[in-house]
């Protein structure tokens, strides 16, 4: 079938620039090296005066954004160390400074999981991340970005069987099975980072008389007699229309419309429009700073071209960041929202099934109590919230608690292990476009003839979780939550989520001994489990 490349999530470009490789065929000269590029035939397709080995070096400086479900705390996202594309949709990553990065995970898949327990990452160039933070926050500081929110926003934009996000990356056409160099698109591999050479050139250009504001000596004795639909619009409406135009389109409009020309004669308009249309020209704004000259002709600055075409790639990437920004802020708002209980209508709509009894003894002696845990509290959480499901285990290997992390809120049934000595946790993230299809309980027990009634109770020693993607045939992924200890399994109970329903919570009989101080806690016995499900039109439309 062959391999395929992976592209940057922010610019859509190649993750591979040039590199030196040893000539393995020449054993006599181990020092002989030759430079090659995984950008196919770049020298014959791109202008060699614009694209060189050095100019492609920035493509090799990449990293990845991922989520580590096993991490502690509210923030679980990480930015990896250096990432290298290694074909078939994957990257090899080095360990970076982010404490959430799993130290043992070095080969990761981009844009799609190969299995439910695998880590999903989004690759991007270091300078593309700088542009994204500049576009969203106005400063080049990645600490201003909520990494978990950015991951959620990108995960919601994943294209099935694609090597980039569902965004418009502009006028580039190199995204094939591998990145292909296309004649005339050399700008797409130009380094978009701020450049001292551009700053120097701007200083030189702005120092000339051509950019000094001239006295407006235009005198109009009478208006042209032309039927112009813009003539009837108020200035405020015209200004709003101008905001939807690119700079090139606006200049063309001024040639054709007298009202538009008159509305844009003031220098203050061109200053505002320049900031609106060229926020990516950071060299200019840093150069002007707070002491920008009042006599500067902003319309003349706006009309600069030629040498500044080198900024085309940054402008293109900035436009991609502006598309991603609304998704980021929407997920940020959702992530910050906290619900302390299920919404009443949502709770009434939930129904329970699968009342499976694993043991009657605890119910007979009154040693257990029934607890309900709604993991999702609203229809909005069903429609667009990824969930991290956590399972907590006692040192003995028995289940002591289950939980779900929605946004920054953890919802637990049983115990989360904080008060249980030597407890462990396993976790998996279920994306918002995935449905839980079933939960399998693997149950073990000890010899009931040993006289210890409590020890003879069945204990859950492993849980299997199955999911499928919305709108797809029942192609399930599965993952087993289990502690490190290997215990004999004597039975299995499968709880299916029926088509047209969504898993939102569960209920179970929890052994009262959990209230005793650790380490006497033997574990959580799910004597009965009930799936709480919620019917929604949104979910029913995705059934196969």
Reported as a single tens digit per residue, the pLDDT across 68-92 is 998 988 899 999 999 988 777 788 9
Region 278-303: mean pLDDT is 66
DSSP string, 338-372: --SS--HHHHHH-EEEEEEES-SHHHHTT-EEEEE
Instruction: Answer for the pair 83, 102: CB distance below 8 angstroms, yes or no.
Output: no
| pLDDT of 325 | 95
Residues 376, 373: Cα–Cα separation, whole Å: 9
Region 500-517: mean pLDDT is 53
| pLDDT of 211 | 54
Instruction: Take residue 414 and report the two structure tokens written for it.
Output: 């049983």
Are residue 153 and residue 207 in the same domain, yes or no? Answer: no
- What are the CA-CA distances from residue 1 to residues 4, 88, 177, 180 (Å)? 10, 10, 11, 19
**Taking 50 as the threshold, does the pLDDT of residue 276 lie above it?**
yes
Residues 544, 539: Cα–Cα separation, whole Å: 11
Q: Rounded to the nearest 10 degrees, what angle do helices 312-336 and 147-155 cross at? A: 100
Lowest-confidence region among 209-223, 414-428, 508-522: 508-522
Domains identified in the chain, total number: 3
How would you class 163 by CB atoms within 10 Å of its CB: exposed for 0-12, middle for 13-18, buried for 19 or more? Answer: buried
Are β-strands 528-535 and 501-511 bridged in parallel, bridged antiparallel, or unpaired? Answer: antiparallel
| pLDDT of 225 | 65
pLDDT tens-digit series, residues 131-176: 999 999 888 888 889 999 999 999 989 876 678 899 999 888 777 7
Q: How confident is the model at residue 356 (pLDDT cuts 50, 70, 90)?
A: very low
Instruction: Answer for the pair 79, 148: CB distance below 8 angstroms, yes or no.
Output: no
pLDDT tens-digit series, residues 10-41: 999 888 875 433 344 444 444 444 444 444 44
Are residue 170 and residue 204 in the same domain, yes or no? Answer: no
Beta bridge partners of 443: 460, 491
Last residue of a domain, one of 189, 206, 224: 189
Last residue of a domain, one of 146, 163, 189: 189
Are β-strands 107-110 and 120-125 bridged in parallel, bridged antiparallel, or unpaired? Answer: parallel
Instruction: Tell me whether residue 360 is in a domain.
Output: yes
pLDDT tens-digit series, residues 238-268: 888 888 887 778 888 888 888 888 888 777 7
Q: For the chain, how many residues are written? A: 544
Instruction: Tell me whether residue 6 is in a domain.
Output: no
Beta bridge partners of 83: 93
Instruction: Tell me whether residue 10 is in a domain.
Output: no
Residues 13, 178: Cα–Cα separation, whole Å: 10
Neighbour count for residue 370 (Cβ, 10 Å): 12
Q: What is the overall mean pLDDT for the chain?
A: 73
| pLDDT of 538 | 38
Are residue 246 and residue 348 in the same domain, yes or no? Answer: no
Last residue of a domain, one of 189, 207, 227: 189
Instruction: Tell me whether residue 115 is in a domain.
Output: yes
Are residue 143 and residue 207 in the same domain, yes or no? Answer: no
Instruction: Take residue 474 and report the two structure tokens written for it.
Output: 């029942």
Are residue 362 and residue 510 in the same domain, yes or no? Answer: yes
Instruction: Answer for the pair 66, 120: CB distance below 8 angstroms, yes or no.
Output: yes
Are residue 352 and residue 461 in the same domain, yes or no? Answer: yes
Range of the domain at 233: 196-318
Residues 357, 369: Cα–Cα separation, whole Å: 13
Instruction: Tell me whether residue 232 is in a domain.
Output: yes
Peptide bond preceding 519: is omega within 30 degrees of 0, i.e. cis? yes
Are residue 173 and residue 256 in the same domain, yes or no? Answer: no
| pLDDT of 402 | 84
Q: How large a percentage of the chain has pLDDT more than 70?
A: 66
Lowest-confidence region among 151-160, 273-282, 403-412, 443-452: 443-452
Are residue 26 and residue 129 in the same domain, yes or no? Answer: yes
- DSSP H/E element including 480: strand 477-481
Report CA dihedral (43, 46, 47, 51) to the nearest 10 degrees.
Answer: -70
- What are the CA-CA distances from residue 234 to residues 239, 259, 261, 323, 526 (Å)? 9, 10, 14, 30, 69
Instruction: Answer for the pair 533, 351: CB distance below 8 angstroms, yes or no.
Output: yes
Instruction: Tell me whether residue 329 is in a domain.
Output: no
| pLDDT of 321 | 95
Are residue 216 and residue 281 in the same domain, yes or no? Answer: yes
Instruction: Take residue 393 and report the two structure tokens written for it.
Output: 């285990």
Instruction: Answer for the pair 58, 73: CB distance below 8 angstroms, yes or no.
Output: no
Are residue 306 and residue 363 in the same domain, yes or no? Answer: no
Are residue 182 and residue 259 in the same domain, yes or no? Answer: no
Longest dimension (CA), the chain: 111
Are residue 221 and residue 313 in the same domain, yes or no? Answer: yes
**Distance of alpha carbon 5 from its chain centroid, rounded?**
19
Instruction: Take residue 418 and report the two structure tokens written for it.
Output: 């904080």
Instruction: Tell me whether residue 217 is in a domain.
Output: yes
- DSSP H/E element including 318: helix 312-336
Instruction: Tell me whether residue 264 is in a domain.
Output: yes
- List, in order, residues 6 or more apart from 331 with CB less than 8 Å away: 149, 152, 153, 156, 384
Instruction: Take residue 362 and report the two structure tokens written for it.
Output: 């605890």
């Amino acid at each position: 079938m062959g391999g395929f490349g992976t592209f940057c999530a922010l610019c859509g470009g190649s993750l591979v620039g040039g590199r030196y490789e040893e000539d393995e065929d020449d054993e006599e000269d181990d020092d002989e090296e030759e430079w090659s590029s995984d950008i196919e035939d770049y020298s014959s397709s791109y202008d060699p005066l614009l694209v060189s080995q050095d100019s492609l070096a920035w493509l090799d400086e990449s990293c990845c954004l991922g989520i580590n479900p096993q991490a502690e705390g509210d923030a679980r996202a990480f930015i990896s160390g250096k990432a290298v594309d290694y074909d078939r949709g994957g990257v090899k990553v080095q360990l970076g400074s982010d404490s959430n990065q799993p130290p043992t995970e070095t080969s990761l898949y981009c844009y799609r999981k190969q299995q439910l327990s695998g880590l999903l990452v989004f690759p991007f160039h270091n300078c593309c991340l700088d542009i994204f933070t500049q576009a969203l926050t106005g400063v080049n500081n990645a600490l201003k970005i909520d990494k978990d929110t950015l991951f959620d926003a990108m995960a919601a934009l994943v294209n099935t069987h694609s090597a980039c996000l569902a965004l418009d990356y502009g006028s580039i056409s190199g995204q094939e099975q591998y990145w292909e160099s296309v004649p005339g698109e050399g700008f797409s591999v130009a380094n978009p980072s701020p450049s001292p050479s551009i700053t120097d050139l701007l200083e030189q250009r702005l120092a000339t008389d051509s950019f000094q504001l001239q006295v407006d000596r235009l005198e109009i004795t009478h208006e042209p007699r032309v039927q112009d639909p813009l003539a009837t619009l108020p200035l405020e409406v015209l200004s709003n229309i101008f905001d939807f135009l690119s700079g090139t389109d606006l200049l063309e409009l001024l040639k054709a419309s007298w009202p538009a020309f008159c509305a844009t004669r003031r220098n203050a308009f061109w200053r505002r429009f320049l900031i609106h249309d060229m926020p990516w020209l950071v060299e200019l704004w840093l150069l002007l700073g707070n002491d920008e000259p009042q006599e500067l002709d902003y319309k003349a600055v706006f009309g600069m071209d030629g040498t500044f075409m080198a900024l085309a790639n940054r402008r293109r990437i900035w436009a991609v960041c502006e598309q991603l920004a609304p998704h980021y802020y929407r997920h940020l708002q959702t992530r910050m929202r906290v619900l302390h209980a299920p919404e009443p209508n949502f709770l009434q709509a939930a129904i329970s099934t699968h009342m499976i009894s694993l043991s009657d003894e605890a119910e007979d002696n009154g040693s257990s109590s029934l607890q309900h845990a709604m993991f999702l509290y609203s229809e909005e959480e069903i429609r667009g919230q990824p969930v991290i499901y956590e399972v907590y285990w006692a040192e003995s290997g028995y289940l002591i608690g289950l939980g779900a992390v929605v946004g920054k809120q953890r919802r637990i049934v049983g115990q989360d292990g904080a008060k249980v000595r030597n407890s462990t946790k396993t976790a998996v993230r279920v994306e918002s476009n995935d449905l839980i299809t079933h939960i399998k309980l693997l149950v073990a027990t000890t010899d009931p003839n040993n006289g210890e009634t409590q020890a003879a109770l069945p204990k859950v020693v492993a849980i299997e979780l199955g999911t499928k993607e919305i709108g797809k045939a029942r192609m399930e992924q599965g993952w087993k939550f289990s502690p490190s200890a290997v215990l004999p399994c004597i039975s299995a109970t499968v709880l299916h989520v029926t088509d047209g329903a969504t898993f939102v919570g569960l209920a179970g009989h929890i052994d009262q001994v959990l209230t005793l101080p650790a380490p006497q806690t033997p574990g959580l016995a799910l004597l009965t489990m009930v799936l709480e499900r919620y019917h929604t039109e949104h979910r029913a439309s995705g059934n196969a």
